[in-house]
Structure 1
Amino acid sequence: MQPFIEIMDTTLRDGEQTSGVSFSSSEKLTIAQLLLTEVKVDRIEVASARVSKGEFKAVKGITDWARANGFIDKIEVLTFTDGKTSIDWMIETGAKVMNLLTKGSLNHLTYQLKKTPEQHFKDVAESIAYAVDKDIAVNVYLEDWSNGMRSSQEYVYEYLDFLSTQPVKRILLPDTLGILIPSETRDYLRPIIQRYPDIHFDFHAHNDYDLSIANVLEAIYAGVKGLHLTINGMGERAGNAPLASAIAVINDYVKEVKTNVDEKELYKVSKLVETFSGFRVPVNKPVVGENVFTQTAGIHADGDKKNNLYFNKLMPERFGRERKYALGKTSGKANIENNLQQLGIILSQEDLKKVTDRIIDLGDKKEVVTQSDLPYIISDILDSSAIEEKINVQNYVLTHSKDLRPSVTLKISIEGELFEEHAQGDGQYDAFMNALKMIYCKKGRELPVLTDYAVRIPPGGKSDALCETIITWDYKGHEFKTRGLDSDQTVSAIKATQKMLNQI
């Protein structure tokens, strides 16, 4: 194994080939800056040559910044065996390192380029010579190398023998179609690295069989000097090997190997790329998923409380995150106690049992319970005149008609006294709030200011799916949130508002 592994991030090139993803020039520059200055990867592949004018502008912006800040030798561009064309394109952008895409399997060479190995080697040699003459550092990709090793090893070794005579800085070996299993990765890489000990080999994994991280691990054991990874595992089809997972595995299981990557920055860059790309990160994705440091089972919370029994090496603090304890039907008292403790709330064992029973009941109904719901749940179920539900929305009629303003007729009970009011508004909820304000004005009471209104439905939910409305209020300088859940969006907002009325 090599004592140091170079990390090349290809989010901005291979990762951008994720279906439906296209970064703007400013987004590419921001990601590039973050990867090199904060995440501290060793190199970044930022584009394919000749794609578009927009791509040219993006690469030019990155190289201008990189040259001014001493990173120009870390910026790489994919070029093609097309004579001088793509190399000239790259040179115009100001980039100084090219990753030349060539054929790593006889199958690709024969049926895509329709050339013999000798013809291909000649084309490659001419591209390399031209690049070197222009003071460009050369790395060479062997596209479809993994299939080449399966079906045409003689060709692969013939090609590697040729490349070993060329002024090439690195040879890049991709599992282009994500076909390798770990044992093949080891068995294919090890003899190559032993045969060419002075050549720097990179390994580039894809995740079609969900084996990319296992293959990365085997590549390290085989002795590769570099890895190609992407933020959030972005890439074509099932994507590339994800940066965060690879770094976590290296740091925890390959003690003989080091990288420059700063673990604490991985989650931050993950969220930024998720926002820019619109490529949603699964909540259970290792290291960067929203739920991966959340304990749900009560027995786990209990074990953590007693002696961190359910912790592993993947501590959230390593990645700038914190452990959470979810609330639901499997929570148990220990889980709920952890959340109450974070809120500074202490309950008797009798009251804690009541709260636990209510959360389990809500979980059975598929309701999502959050930490911010706990104060309302407590006030809703404990026998105390100070926290009884004194305000109840008893009835309402919501109307919405074409070319007529929405209106609401509202009936509400305030401490046993009934009020009824009718109002119009710019929407049904606005009309509801206008009627409520009229009633509270009669009572001489002040309502909070609504500062944020968020609506969520389950991804891929049907039209009858539950709708969650979270409203943020400001009441005399104190900000708090209430939540309502219903299949109707306006009704869920009304439920959140009733919670607010009782809280104030």
Structure 2
Amino acid sequence: MPSAQRYIEIMDTTLRDGEQTSGVSFSPSEKLTIAQLLLTEVKVDRIEIASARVSEGEFAAVKSITKWAKANGLLDRVEVLTFVDGDVSVQWMLKAGAKVMNLLTKGSLNHLTHQLKKKPEEHFAEVGAVIKLAKKKGLECNVYLEDWSNGMRHSKDYVFQYLDFLNTQPVKRVMLPDTLGILTPAEVTSFVSETIQRYPNIHFDFHAHNDYDLGTANVLEGVKAGAHGIHLTINGMGERAGNAPLASAIAVLNDFMPELKTGVAEGSLYKVSKLVETFSGFRIPVNKPVVGENVFTQTAGIHADGDKKNKLYFSDLIPERFGRTRKYALGKTSGKANIENNLQQLGLQLSDPDLKKVTQRIIELGDKKEVVTQADLPYIISDVLDSNTIEEKVTVLDYVLTHSKTLKPSVTLRIAILEEIFEEHSQGDGQYDAFMNALKKVYKKLKQELPVLTDYAVRIPPGGKSDALCETIITWRHSNKEFKTRGLDSDQTVSAIKATQKMLNLI
């Protein structure tokens, strides 16, 4: 590790810019929880928690965060977006107990001319007055140059005229947002480096948006070009396509820029990501880098085999860095290696013949559902090994199950018993009851009585979803003895029918 690393400040703006995600609104208690986690566990340098003057709820949230931050010596790391509005935002900050204001100003001549309808000198004078008042009241001031990216593209002279003015003001940081997410990485390199070379004494933050899916790439280029800090959000939340995502940006900086460092604890990134997903209702795409559900899951059997042979499919982006584990998906593309890796994680071992049968069963199940989970595996093994001991003399060839709102469930059943085929139709109180009634008709023709069903239990793996594998265990009484059979399927009724077929073969 280089001896003289350049430190990059990380400012998380999930609670301000990230909350501008359509349909997202955190409660004051949720905001406090996220703020605490970001500062104490994730260890970002600063957090931007709200916009001034938005609502009473926002005011209450800011007040609770500033109270906690002050008690823990962290108040100077909590920031609020404010406006060029005389003393209004400054008074709001004082009442809320905040100490650091991020003043939103115009970074392009287009915004200044058409939104504010003012000359540069008028805007600068108003900005200067707010900064002066903030300092007088004991507030620290950072300044946003809204639409800076378009300003550099189309009105660079204005941007530098404004920065000349800010260079005379008592501001701690100047923040350069790509407000509409329009910049290419090459433009970020050019604009940031030119700005920093011209004003070497100003601390510049770069703020990327993700409209072209270039947010993380632009963060990397901004830091390479000399930016002193970057703004990020958890899960890339934010207006439109969102902001540069915290987890991805940190991973990229840590792996591709060893000459710099941040204070962020990688091991806490997944935890905060899942918490924000829960609070926001904003679902993380399964393929989202670092925090997505599938990004550390190998699906193809050839990859799992390669991992066993000198970790051929490993990279520096290992899941343990982020408090996660590597998984091996089970499904129709699974090979023997995938299944062996899952068995090893569960502490299970199978003989080669049994492993081959389990593999085939998983492939069959994978044709019915997208992924078989590791939690399904013990159920599959139990089902396969149980089936191995039973000689197939009775086969349920086909059935039609019907269910309607006002009519009784019914079943049409076709079954082969010792190569003779029978077909019956019956109704019942439920689909499985109808199936059993049709089966009883068949066995009545054979002058045989079926065992009595004494218990019926259904299990799904912990955390099972609507497509989870379902294990049905049925207890039967026959000739004064009880025995159990089990069936496995993603459909509960079908799993019960499979358990029943095993019973028919046992008797």
What TM bracket, shorter-length normalisation? Answer: 0.7 to 0.9
Partners of 1:88 and 1:473 in 2: CA distance: 66
Correspondent of 1:71 among 74, 98, 102: 74
Alignment of 1:332-351 (within 5 A): 332-351=335-354
Count of residue pairs brought into register by the alignment = 472
CA contact (8 A) 1:212 1:240 kept: yes
CA contact (8 A) 2:209 2:244 kept: yes
For residues 416-457 of structure 1, the C-alpha deviation after alignment (integer angstroms, 9 at most, x for no partner) is: 9xxx99986xxx69999xx9xxxxxx948445487999774x
Give the superposition deviation at 1:90: 2.0
Q: 1:221 to 1:470 in 2, by over 3 A?
A: same
For residues 82-125 of structure 1, the C-alpha deviation after alignment (integer angstroms, 9 at most, x for no partner) is: 11112211221111000000000000100111101001001100
Correspondent of 2:112 among 109, 128, 133: 109
CA contact (8 A) 2:473 2:487 kept: no
Could you say what secondary structure the match of 1:307 adopts?
A: coil
Could you say what secondary structure the match of 1:468 adopts?
A: coil
Q: Say whether 1:152 aligns with 2:155.
A: yes
CA contact (8 A) 1:15 1:239 kept: yes
Q: Which residue of 2 aligns with 1:373?
A: 376
Q: Say whether 1:86 aligns with 2:89.
A: yes
Q: 1:266 to 1:286 in 2, by over 3 A?
A: same
Q: 1:397 to 1:83 in 2, by over 3 A?
A: same
Give the superposition deviation at 1:348: 3.2
CA contact (8 A) 1:21 1:277 kept: yes
Q: Say whether 1:249 aligns with 2:248.
A: no
Q: Say whether 1:311 aligns with 2:314.
A: yes
Q: Which residue of 2 aligns with 1:463?
A: none
Q: Which residue of 2 aligns with 1:459?
A: none
Counterpart residue type for residue 76 of structure 2: D
Partners of 1:46 and 1:474 in 2: CA distance: 53
Could you say what secondary structure the match of 2:467 adopts?
A: strand
Could you say what secondary structure the match of 2:209 adopts?
A: coil
Partners of 1:503 and 1:26 in 2: CA distance: 54
CA contact (8 A) 1:2 1:220 kept: no
Counterpart residue type for residue 212 of structure 2: Y
Give the superposition deviation at 1:330: 2.2
Could you say what secondary structure the match of 1:173 adopts?
A: strand
Partners of 2:108 and 2:42 in 1: CA distance: 34
Q: Which residue of 2 aligns with 1:356?
A: 359
Q: Say whether 1:97 aligns with 2:96.
A: no
Give the superposition deviation at 1:300: 1.0
Give the superposition deviation at 1:495: 3.6
Give the superposition deviation at 1:191: 1.9
Q: Say whether 1:221 aligns with 2:224.
A: yes
Q: Say whether 1:17 aligns with 2:15.
A: no
Partners of 1:47 and 1:28 in 2: CA distance: 10
Q: 1:277 to 1:410 in 2, by over 3 A?
A: farther
Could you say what secondary structure the match of 1:227 adopts?
A: strand
- Give the TM-score taking structure 2 as reference length: 0.82
Give the superposition deviation at 1:250: 1.3
Correspondent of 1:49 among 48, 52, 58: 52
Could you say what secondary structure the match of 1:241 adopts?
A: coil
Give the superposition deviation at 1:68: 1.1
Q: 1:374 to 1:148 in 2, by over 3 A?
A: same
Partners of 2:32 and 2:103 in 1: CA distance: 23
Give the superposition deviation at 1:343: 3.0
Q: 1:133 to 1:147 in 2, by over 3 A?
A: same
Correspondent of 1:127 among 127, 130, 135: 130
Partners of 1:156 and 1:150 in 2: CA distance: 10
Note the residue ranges of structure 2 that are not aligned, 5 or more in a row.
419-424, 438-450, 475-485
Give the superposition deviation at 1:398: 6.2
Partners of 1:12 and 1:261 in 2: CA distance: 17
CA contact (8 A) 1:83 1:123 kept: yes
Q: Which residue of 1 aligns with 2:326?
A: 323
RMSD across aligned positions (CA): 3.7
For residues 163-199 of structure 1, the C-alpha deviation after alignment (integer angstroms, 9 at most, x for no partner) is: 0000001000000000111111111111211222121
CA contact (8 A) 1:179 1:209 kept: yes
Could you say what secondary structure the match of 2:67 adopts?
A: helix
Q: Say whether 1:188 aligns with 2:191.
A: yes
Q: 1:183 to 1:446 in 2, by over 3 A?
A: same
CA contact (8 A) 1:390 1:502 kept: no
CA contact (8 A) 1:50 1:86 kept: yes
Q: Say whether 1:468 aligns with 2:467.
A: yes
For residues 378-428 of structure 1, the C-alpha deviation after alignment (integer angstroms, 9 at most, x for no partner) is: 4555686547799999979665546x9x878999x9xx9xxx99986xxx6
Q: Say whether 1:58 aligns with 2:58.
A: no
Q: 1:329 to 1:474 in 2, by over 3 A?
A: closer
Correspondent of 1:6 among 9, 31, 36: 9
Q: 1:423 to 1:131 in 2, by over 3 A?
A: farther
Partners of 1:69 and 1:448 in 2: CA distance: 53
Q: Say whether 1:207 aligns with 2:206.
A: no
Partners of 2:254 and 2:15 in 1: CA distance: 25
Note the residue ranges of structure 1 that are not aligned, 5 or more in a row.
436-441, 457-466, 476-480, 486-491
Counterpart residue type for residue 145 of structure 2: L
Give the superposition deviation at 1:209: 1.0
Q: Which residue of 1 aligns with 2:493?
A: 494
For residues 199-219 of structure 1, the C-alpha deviation after alignment (integer angstroms, 9 at most, x for no partner) is: 111000001111111111111
Q: 1:484 to 1:360 in 2, by over 3 A?
A: closer
Give % identity. 66
Give the superposition deviation at 1:373: 3.1
CA contact (8 A) 1:104 1:144 kept: yes
For residues 54-81 of structure 1, the C-alpha deviation after alignment (integer angstroms, 9 at most, x for no partner) is: 1111111111111111111111000011
Could you say what secondary structure the match of 2:308 adopts?
A: helix
Q: Which residue of 2 aligns with 1:37?
A: 40
Partners of 2:233 and 2:222 in 1: CA distance: 17
Q: Which residue of 2 aligns with 1:461?
A: none
